């Protein structure tokens, strides 16, 4: 082979190597770009799946509101509750530490029904965080004067859920559709619960039930029942009051006295002994609202057979 042939062959090899090197570099660049895009897409998908990396911090007063807020806000909010588990909502006095914790919220979903610890605490919390929005979730609800327990009626709970949706949609308008879909689905569920309660109570032989304390007034009013409360305004009854209640309960054929977990059951047990009745627990503060209200309504209905 002559020198000219060697030169040509070497040139061909060199050109081929350069072309391959450039092509390989393009492939690597394309692969890296694709990988980076995949990583970015995966990161975005995880953010959607796992929720906002900076969720709206929402404070509520009582545990049932946690479900209201969670079902509407989903993974775009973080919920903190002022009333701790097992506390008496009528006598609770929040600690300074609890108030400080709640003051870090972006929004407070107030009951707006006159619950004492909420009424006393909100001015203090507002002073700690002047930018926190306070929403009256009972706006347009049909309230009973002197009774703060509006949530025990699903009919009033639906009003609260609607107000929670409006507040979140205004706070975070870019995700209004997300909140609306969640709200519509939850209101449909509460509507079914409302119908179920109406149906389960429709066959009751009596329309009266006895409770201690008097925190089921909204439930009684909205479903056409007569609630006999052993106490009124958080005051235990006198002996004369107990005798009057015993006479009325016997006349109405009441065989069960319902008591709330957080209260001393002695008065309820005394009343039950006078009546020859049983004592049963129903909890207006359980966080699993739908399940709890369904169970409570069935328990009350069974007592009125």
Residue 38 vs residue 225, higher pLDDT: 225
Say yes or no to pLDDT of 40 above 90: no
Q: What is the mean pLDDT of residues 122-144?
A: 98
> Could you tell me the CA-to-CA distances from 74 to 58, 109, 182 in Å, in that order?
12, 15, 8
Domain range 204-303, its CATH number among 3.40.605.10, 3.40.50.1980, 1.10.599.10, 3.30.830.10: 3.40.50.1980
In this prediction, residue 21 carries a pLDDT of 43
What's the chain's average pLDDT? Answer: 85
**Could you give the CA distance from residue 239 to residue 241 in angstroms, rounded to a whole number?**
5
Residue 243 vs residue 162, higher pLDDT: 162
Q: CATH assignment of 56-198?
A: 3.40.50.1980
Is residue 118 within 8 A of residue 68, CB to CB? The reply is: no
Kindly report the backbone phi and psi dihedral angles of residue 215, in degrees, each rounded to the nearest multiple of 5, phi listed first. Answer: -110, 15
Instruction: Give the position of tokens 């327990």.
Output: 149
Q: What is the mean pLDDT of residues 187-201?
A: 98
259-305 residue pLDDT tens: 987 666 777 888 898 899 999 999 999 999 999 999 999 999 999 98
84-97 residue pLDDT tens: 998 989 889 999 99
Is residue 300 within 8 A of residue 280, CB to CB? The reply is: no
In this prediction, residue 22 carries a pLDDT of 45
Q: Are domains 56-198 and 204-303 of this chain identical in fold? A: yes
Boundaries of every domain in the chain: 56-198, 204-303
Question: Which residues are paired to 257 by β-bridges?
Answer: 210, 279
**Could you give the CA distance from residue 141 to residue 151 in angstroms, rounded to a whole number?**
10
Instruction: Calculate what percentage of the chain has a pLDDT beyond 90.
Output: 69
What is the full DSSP assignment across 19-71? HHHHHHHHHHHHHHHHHHHHHHHHHHHHHHHH--SSPEEEEESSHHHHHHHHH
In this prediction, residue 10 carries a pLDDT of 38
In this prediction, residue 260 carries a pLDDT of 86
Residue 213: asked if its preceding bond is cis (omega within 30°), the reply is yes
**Could you give the CA distance from residue 185 to residue 192 in angstroms, rounded to a whole number?**
11
Confidence of residue 42 (pLDDT cuts 50, 70, 90): very low
């Amino acid at each position: 082979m002559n020198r000219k042939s060697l030169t040509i062959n070497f040139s061909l090899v060199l050109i081929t190597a350069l072309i391959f090197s450039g092509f390989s570099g393009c492939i690597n660049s394309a692969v890296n770009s694709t990988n980076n895009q995949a990583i970015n897409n995966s990161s975005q998908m995880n953010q959607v799946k796992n929720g906002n990396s900076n969720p709206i911090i929402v404070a509520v007063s009582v545990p049932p509101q946690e479900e209201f807020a969670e079902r509407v806000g989903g993974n775009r909010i973080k919920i903190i509750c002022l009333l701790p588990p097992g506390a008496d909502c009528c006598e609770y006095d929040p600690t300074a530490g609890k108030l400080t914790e709640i003051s870090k919220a972006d929004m407070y979903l107030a009951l707006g029904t006159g619950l004492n610890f909420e009424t006393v605490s909100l001015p203090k919390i507002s002073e700690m965080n002047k930018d926190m929005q306070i929403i009256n979730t009972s706006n347009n609800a049909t309230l009973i004067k002197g009774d703060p327990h509006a949530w025990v009626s699903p009919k009033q709970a639906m009003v609260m859920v609607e107000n929670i949706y409006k507040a979140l949609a205004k706070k975070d308008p870019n995700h209004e559709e997300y909140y609306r879909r969640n709200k519509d689905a939850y209101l449909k569920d509460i509507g079914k619960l409302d119908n179920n309660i109406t149906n389960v109570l429709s066959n009751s032989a009596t329309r009266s039930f006895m409770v201690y304390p008097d925190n089921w007034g909204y439930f009684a009013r909205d479903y056409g029942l007569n609630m006999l409360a052993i106490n009124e305004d958080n005051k235990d009854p006198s002996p004369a009051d107990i005798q009057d209640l015993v006479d009325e309960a016997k006349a109405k054929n009441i065989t069960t006295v319902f008591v709330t977990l957080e209260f001393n059951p002695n008065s309820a047990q005394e009343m039950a002994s006078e009546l020859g009745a049983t004592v049963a627990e129903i909890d207006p503060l359980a966080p699993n609202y739908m399940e709890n209200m369904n169970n409570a309504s069935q328990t009350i209905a069974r007592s009125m057979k």
